């Protein structure tokens, strides 16, 4: 995995080579590219034709004997202007459309890929950084592919064309100009590098500020609850100030660069004019030729100036392309095998761990599971209990293959989870997690999360079974009520019931319940418990339980401590064990003394 993505660094690019990553995207839209290039050339050539026409007007147009020709010259000038206008409009259309097209494709591809990345990636990646790449970096590319590349190409054509025309018009004057070019270009390149370094710093600091903003806005209620709004504002304004200072420094450097470029270019033009004027006075050159040469010199100088600016933009875009490429090539460490083994149909609903040892990639020294072994029979309901941090949720994560263990084997329906198709494997399970994920959208959409093609009737049936119908019905628009970002308009218990309905609708052979009823009041809990019991019928259920009622109903209890299964049995046998982990846990946590 790329360290840059993980650490959230913004890779520093010095060359424009990463822009090559855009070529496959451009290749998809050959017609647009051809349209853009043709109109670019047309616009450049018509621009180059203008000075020739101007010379003819100056040298011949103002004399009486050629009065008839004057009209012709001006007509030609007008025609050239019209051609230039049409070519420029086409260039704009093709080039900008191409930029938009390419960027939407890149956005989609990057998003598609990051959605497949594993928990290992997300343990360290900053979501704000990824979103910033999807927005800011793609925008940078859009301007590169759209405006910048076309301006660059136009100026290269124009610059080279103007230089050639200068040589044709007056080889000796052109010689002087060509000799002066390195004097202008070399300092510009050197200084341009510094400007770019500063611009890059400005962009990086802005990305940091944005990442913080997205995190803080997402957690605004917590900030308010802890009356820490001013702390957040201070943090953000510091980040913005840093970004501003970096930007100001870049702007300052760029202003000096611009002044230098303009002065050098114009003083060279003045020098050419000076020498040229002397030649006209001595009769070596016609005024029209000088005028034509001068126009070409201005074109060439303008093209050179534009290119020096554009180079910086291209490098920024190259940095953006590099960062996006990292996300595009990033591979999940959890993948389906090339030839997945077929899972038995119909599903059996068995699960087993064989001597599984696992440490989270971010904490390789810290074993979350140590030589874990157990067998779950089809249709069995197993409660997993243990102190906080014992490794219960980790066990669920491994079953769903969010991570792979360092050693040992995990099997579902008798097959190693590494040997089967990841999607099929996960389809065998439905989870009600500790942190319910509700997305902005309607209640119905949230229930159908694990089965997007579910009909309204199915959604309602699932909601009824999860005891969610009663609260959904009284929402302003029932099932079509928007729940807000992360379900902010729902209570904890309501979110939990939506999550249960979601699991019911998924109708998977193995149910994973992670304290599924912890946020419910006693009355609703009893109701939901009933719903869950019904759901559990004929299914294999693993339930991380913190409540006695759940534990009592389980066929078996696995007691976890410090990443290991230390006891296994039923409530009666386990609570009778003197100094047993369960007995101690139960007496503390469930008030077993009174309940049993």
Ligand X SMILES: Nc1ncnc2c1ncn2[C@@H]1O[C@H](COP(=O)(O)OP(=O)(O)OP(=O)(O)O)[C@@H](O)[C@H]1O
Of the residues 7, 234, 335, 363, which one makes contact with ligand X according to CB under 6 A: 363
Instruction: From 238, 253, 231, 243, select the one nearest 312 (Cα to Cα).
Output: 253
Residue closer to ligand X (CB basis): 459 or 519 = 519
Q: For residue 8, give the DSSP letter.
A: T
CB 497 → ligand X: shortest distance, Å?
20
CB 363 → ligand X: shortest distance, Å?
5
* Binding piece for ligand X, criterion CB under 6 A, among 91-99, 328-336, 341-349, 385-393: 385-393
Q: Does 551 bind ligand X (CB under 6 A)?
A: no
Q: Does 559 bind ligand X (CB under 6 A)?
A: no
Distance of CA 334 to the CA centre of its chain: 20
Q: Where are the alpha helices (DSSP H) in 57-126?
A: 67-116, 119-124
Residue closer to ligand X (CB basis): 157 or 368 = 368
CB 215 → ligand X: shortest distance, Å?
17
Label the pairing between strands 381-386 and 556-561.
parallel
* Binding piece for ligand X, criterion CB under 6 A, among 233-241, 302-310, 328-336, 389-397: 389-397
Q: Count the site residues for ligand X by CB under 6 A.
A: 14
> Dihedral sign, CA of 149, 151, 314, 296?
positive
Determine phi and psi for 365, rounding to 5 degrees. Answer: -80, -15
Max intra-chain CA distance, the chain:
124
The single residue listed with the structure tokens 């100088």 is 301
Question: How many CB atoms within 10 Å of residue 376?
Answer: 23
Q: Does 516 bind ligand X (CB under 6 A)?
A: no
CB 350 within 8 A of CB 392: no
CB 546 → ligand X: shortest distance, Å?
7
Of the residues 390, 483, 490, 510, which one makes contact with ligand X according to CB under 6 A: 390
**Helices 287-329, 149-169: inter-axial angle, 10-degree rounding:** 150
**Per-residue contact flags (x/-) with ligand X for residues 94 to 133, judged by CB under 6 A:** -----------------------------x----------
CB 516 → ligand X: shortest distance, Å?
13
Q: Does 389 bind ligand X (CB under 6 A)?
A: yes
Q: Does 573 bind ligand X (CB under 6 A)?
A: no
Bridge partners (DSSP) listed for residue 291: none
Q: Does 6 bind ligand X (CB under 6 A)?
A: no
Instruction: From 581, 399, 434, select the one nearest 508 (Cα to Cα).
Output: 399
CA atoms within 13 A on the CB side of 259: 6
> Dihedral sign, CA of 484, 488, 492, 496?
positive
Q: Does 405 bind ligand X (CB under 6 A)?
A: no
Of the residues 155, 394, 496, 517, which one makes contact with ligand X according to CB under 6 A: 394
CB 467 within 8 A of CB 496: no
Residue closer to ligand X (CB basis): 43 or 398 = 398
CB 113 → ligand X: shortest distance, Å?
21
**Bond from prior residue into 346 cis (ω within 30 degrees of 0):** yes
Q: Does 388 bind ligand X (CB under 6 A)?
A: yes
CB 299 within 8 A of CB 163: no
**Per-residue contact flags (x/-) with ligand X for residues 323 to 362, judged by CB under 6 A:** -------------------------------------x-x
CB 311 → ligand X: shortest distance, Å?
43
Residue closer to ligand X (CB basis): 398 or 498 = 398
Q: What 3-state class would DSSP assign to 553?
A: helix
Residue closer to ligand X (CB basis): 172 or 406 = 406
Instruction: Please report, for residues 30, 382, 556, the alpha-carbon distance to residue 568 in angstroms, rounded to integers and kept in the order given.
Output: 66, 10, 7
Residue closer to ligand X (CB basis): 282 or 388 = 388
Which residues of the shown chain bind ligand X in the complex (CB under 6 A)? Answer: 123, 360, 362-363, 368, 386, 388-394, 434
């Amino acid at each position: 995995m790329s360290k840059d993505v993980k650490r959230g660094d913004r890779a520093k690019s010095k060359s424009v080579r990463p822009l090559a990553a855009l070529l496959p995207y451009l290749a998809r839209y050959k017609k647009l590219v051809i349209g853009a290039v043709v109109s670019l050339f047309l616009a450049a050539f018509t621009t180059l034709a203008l000075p020739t026409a101007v010379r003819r007007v100056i040298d011949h147009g103002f004399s009486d004997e050629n009065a008839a020709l004057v009209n012709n010259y001006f007509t030609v000038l007008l025609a050239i202007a019209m051609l230039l206008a049409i070519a420029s409009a086409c260039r704009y259309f093709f080039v900008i459309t191409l930029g938009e097209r390419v960027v939407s494709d890149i956005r989609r591809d990057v998003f598609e890929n990051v959605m497949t990345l594993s928990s290992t990636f997300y343990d360290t990646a900053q979501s704000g950084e990824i979103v910033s790449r999807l927005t800011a970096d793609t925008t940078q590319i859009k301007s590169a592919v759209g405006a910048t590349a076309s301006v660059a190409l136009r100026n290269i054509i124009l610059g080279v064309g103007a230089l050639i025309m200068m040589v044709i018009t007056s080889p000796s004057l052109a010689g002087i100009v060509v000799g002066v070019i390195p004097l202008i270009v070399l300092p510009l390149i050197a200084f341009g590098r510094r400007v770019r370094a500063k611009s890059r710093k400005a962009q990086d600091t802005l990305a940091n500020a944005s990442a913080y903003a997205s995190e803080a806005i997402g957690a605004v209620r917590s900030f308010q609850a802890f009356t820490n709004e001013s702390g957040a504002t201070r943090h953000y304004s510091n980040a913005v100030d840093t970004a501003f200072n970096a930007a100001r420094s870049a702007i300052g450097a760029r202003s000096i660069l611009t002044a230098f470029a303009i002065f050098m270019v114009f003083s060279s033009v003045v020098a050419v004019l000076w020498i040229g004027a002397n030649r006209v006075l001595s009769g070596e050159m016609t005024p029209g030729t000088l005028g034509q040469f001068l126009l070409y010199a201005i074109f060439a100088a303008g093209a050179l100036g534009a290119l020096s600016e554009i180079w910086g933009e291209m490098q920024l875009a190259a940095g953006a392309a590099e960062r996006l490429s990292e996300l595009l090539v990033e591979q999940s460490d959890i993948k389906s095998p090339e030839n997945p083994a077929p899972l038995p149909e119909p599903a059996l609903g068995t699960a087993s761990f064989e001597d599984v040892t696992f440490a989270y990639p971010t904490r390789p020294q810290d074993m979350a599971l140590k030589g874990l072994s157990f067998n779950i029979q089809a249709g069995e309901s197993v409660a997993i209990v243990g102190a906080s941090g014992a490794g219960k949720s980790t066990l669920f994560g491994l079953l769903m293959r969010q991570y792979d263990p360092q050693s040992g084997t995990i099997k579902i329906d008798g097959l190693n989870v590494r040997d089967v198709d990841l999607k099929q494997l996960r389809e065998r399970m439905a989870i009600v997690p500790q942190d319910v994920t509700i997305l902005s959208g309607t209640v119905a959409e949230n229930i159908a999360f694990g089965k997007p093609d579910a009909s309204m009737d199915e959604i309602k049936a699932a909601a009824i079974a999860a005891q969610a119908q009663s609260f959904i019905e009284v929402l302003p628009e029932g099932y079509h009520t928007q729940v807000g970002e992360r379900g902010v308009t729902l209570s904890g218990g309501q979110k939990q019931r939506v999550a249960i309905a979601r699991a019911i609708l998924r109708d998977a052979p193995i149910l994973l319940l992670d304290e599924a009823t912890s946020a419910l009041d006693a009355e609703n809990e009893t109701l939901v418990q009933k719903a869950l019991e019904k759901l559990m019928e004929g299914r294999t259920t693993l339930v991380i339980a913190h409540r006695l009622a759940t534990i009592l109903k389980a066929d078996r209890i696995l007691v976890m401590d410090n990443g290991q299964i230390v006891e296994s049995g039923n409530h009666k046998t386990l609570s009778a064990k003197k100094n047993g982990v369960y007995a101690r846990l139960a007496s503390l946590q469930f008030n077993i003394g009174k309940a049993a």
